[in-house]
Amino acid sequence: MKVAFDHQIFSFQPYGGVSRYFFELASRLPAHGAFDVSVVAPWHVNKYLADSGSSFTRGRYVNIPPYTIGGISVIPMANQLVAPWTWRGAKPDIVHETYFAPKPVGKGRRRVVTVYDMIHELLPAEFPDAKRMTAAKRAAVDRADHVICISENTQRDLVRIYGVNPEKTSVVHLGYSMTAGANATTTQEDRQKTAPFLLYVGNRRGYKNFSTLLQAYASSPVLRELELIAFGGPPLLPDEHEEIGALGITDRVRYESGSDQKLATRYRAAAAFVCPSKYEGFGLPPLEAMGHGCPVVCSNGGSIPEVVGDAGVYFDPNDHEELRAVLERVVTTDELQADLRERGYARTAVFSWDKCAAGTAQIYREII
């Protein structure tokens, strides 16, 4: 069976959960049947594809900034323009769209799209492009023969908000990878190499609720003994610097970015990983943290409890005082940290990219 992934996510995401998802699928699907997989991305900025030297990529890596013309990103626009030529002769059985476009890219016997969350529909005021995004997503869902949702929470939201027939949808959870998982020895060694810190990972705007973490951290003498590292996402923005300064924690909050290997080291060394998000369609960072032996403190929003299960300590994302109390308890209680690490290791066993690929392969077979 010939399966083709389009260029969309690889055109603008150097690193990230969605591009990692499709890279893992492309790498692992052949182990679950006679799948001939290709990523049709004439030009892409994705490091997973570039660093792997993968044979399934039909395109080339370009290391350029995300230039725009009239607000439109150059690389996605260029890929869209040459699509009729790059897809010529491909004739896939399955076209799996990697993101949401108003009009279809490529042509195959069947079309699949993955829906990650319904955040633009639920919180449109937080996104200047909410109207455009929801229209593109709706178009992609309507034209798809089948819709994969990455969590039961996302599936429920999709069916409720769009009125999609549940039989047209399936849930396939994401997996966990990055680097090899941690063990108790490597985790302890990494913690001993650095001063104690709390770890936040990913974008910080709006519903990600980073400000609540800042307030909880700043209000606690106990927590301020630890650094707060914000890893990934854009560098701290002017308004974030202003808030951090007003809270008196400029010398305690640090931004970092880098490879999955660097992030894995941070997970293993952190006193705790904090996820204050009000909503997630899945939430890869908590899963990654658990896999690297990092105690997880997370909100009870969206699909986060579905992923973390009993391996985290929860709080109300609207209550920074509750977050402060929970964090203080975790970082000052060795027994609780050890228990969370063991529960986290066990929880990650529920999720794997091979399971994700197997579930996706079964859907492909069923709709052909």
pTM equals: 0.86
Q: Average pLDDT of 32-57? A: 90
Separation CA 293–CA 227 (nearest Å): 19
Backbone angles phi, psi at 365, to 5 degrees: -65, -35
Q: Which one has a higher pLDDT value, 137 or 74?
A: 137
Class of domain 2-175+352-367: alpha beta
Query: Would you state the pLDDT for residue 247?
Result: 99
DSSP-based three-state secondary structure for 128: coil
Task: Give the pLDDT confidence of 249-286 residue by residue, as tens digits.
Answer: 999 999 999 988 999 999 999 999 999 999 999 988 99
Question: Longest C-alpha distance within the chain, in Å?
Answer: 64
Non-local CB neighbours of 311 within 8 Å, separated by 6+ positions? 290, 296, 340, 343, 344, 346, 347
| Residue 281 burial by Cβ neighbours in a 10 Å radius (0-12, 13-18, 19+) | buried
Identical fold between 2-175+352-367 and 184-348 = yes
Task: Give the pLDDT confidence of 67-114 residue by residue, as tens digits.
Answer: 555 555 788 888 887 888 888 888 999 999 999 999 998 889 999 999
pLDDT at 186 over 70: no
Q: Average pLDDT of 136-157? A: 98
Cβ atoms of 59 and 38 within 8 Å: the answer is no
Task: Give the pLDDT confidence of 300-332 residue by residue, as tens digits.
Answer: 999 999 999 999 999 999 999 999 999 999 999
Separation CA 199–CA 251 (nearest Å): 16
Query: Would you state the pLDDT for residue 329?
Result: 99
Tokens for 61, please give them.
Answer: 């890596």
Query: Would you state the pLDDT for residue 70?
Result: 53
Which stretches of the chain are assigned E, i.e. beta strand?
A: 2-5, 36-44, 57-61, 68-69, 72-73, 94-97, 110-115, 146-149, 169-171, 197-201, 227-231, 253-256, 272-275, 296-299, 312-315
Domain residue spans of the chain:
2-175+352-367, 184-348
Query: Would you state the pLDDT for residue 260?
Result: 85
Domain 184-348 classified CATH 3.30.70.940?
no
Query: Would you state the pLDDT for residue 26?
Result: 96
Query: Would you state the pLDDT for residue 62?
Result: 86
DSSP-based three-state secondary structure for 240: helix
| Residue 95 burial by Cβ neighbours in a 10 Å radius (0-12, 13-18, 19+) | buried
Write the DSSP string, 247-269: TT-TTTEEEE---HHHHHHHHHH
